Amino acid sequence: QVQLVESGGGLVQPGGSLGLSCAASGTMSSVNAMGWYRQAPGKERELVAVITSSGSTNYADSVKGRFTLSRDYGKNTVGLQMSSLKPEDTAVYYCSAATVKGIYWGQGTQVTVSS
């Protein structure tokens, strides 16, 4: 079992920056990758960024160059620094942890980009 608790999020103006953080606990030795997904109203959940246990990262094309994913293995946290935010980045952002048994999810945190 892996438990994920997100923090951060909120309202930001277009062009602004925002940071998300996710604290993980439980059987971390079973986690292969951690990252962030997002789901906008009326849309399916999509990958934002993921980092594997070896440190390899993968970003959605829509966020490359604007979002930065980081992971602190000692503190079992994963962060997402978002800059140059656009209205289309508005969504509920979910922290994820992938294991051989499946994917664990956080409760989600709202990010709204609006003037």
Segment 96-113, tens digit of pLDDT: 999 988 999 999 999 999
Query: Which pLDDT value is given to residue 69?
Result: 97
- Cβ atoms within 10 Å, residue 23: 16
Tell me the percentage of the chain whose pLDDT exceeds 90. Answer: 82
Query: Which pLDDT value is given to residue 56?
Result: 93
The yes-or-no verdict on residue 57 having pLDDT over 90 is: yes
Residue in the structure block whose two tokens are 């993980």: 24
b/e per residue 63-96 (b: at least 16 CB within 10 A):
beeebebebeeeebbbbbebeebeeebbbbbbbb
3-state helix, strand, coil in the chain (%, to 5): 5, 60, 35
56 touches 79 (CB < 8 A): no
Question: Cα separation of 84 and 76, whole Å?
Answer: 27
In Å, how far from its chain's centre is CA 89? 12
Query: Which pLDDT value is given to residue 28?
Result: 79
Query: Which pLDDT value is given to residue 26?
Result: 86
Query: Which pLDDT value is given to residue 30?
Result: 81
Tell me the percentage of the chain whose pLDDT exceeds 70. Answer: 100
Query: Which pLDDT value is given to residue 101?
Result: 87
Query: Which pLDDT value is given to residue 93?
Result: 98
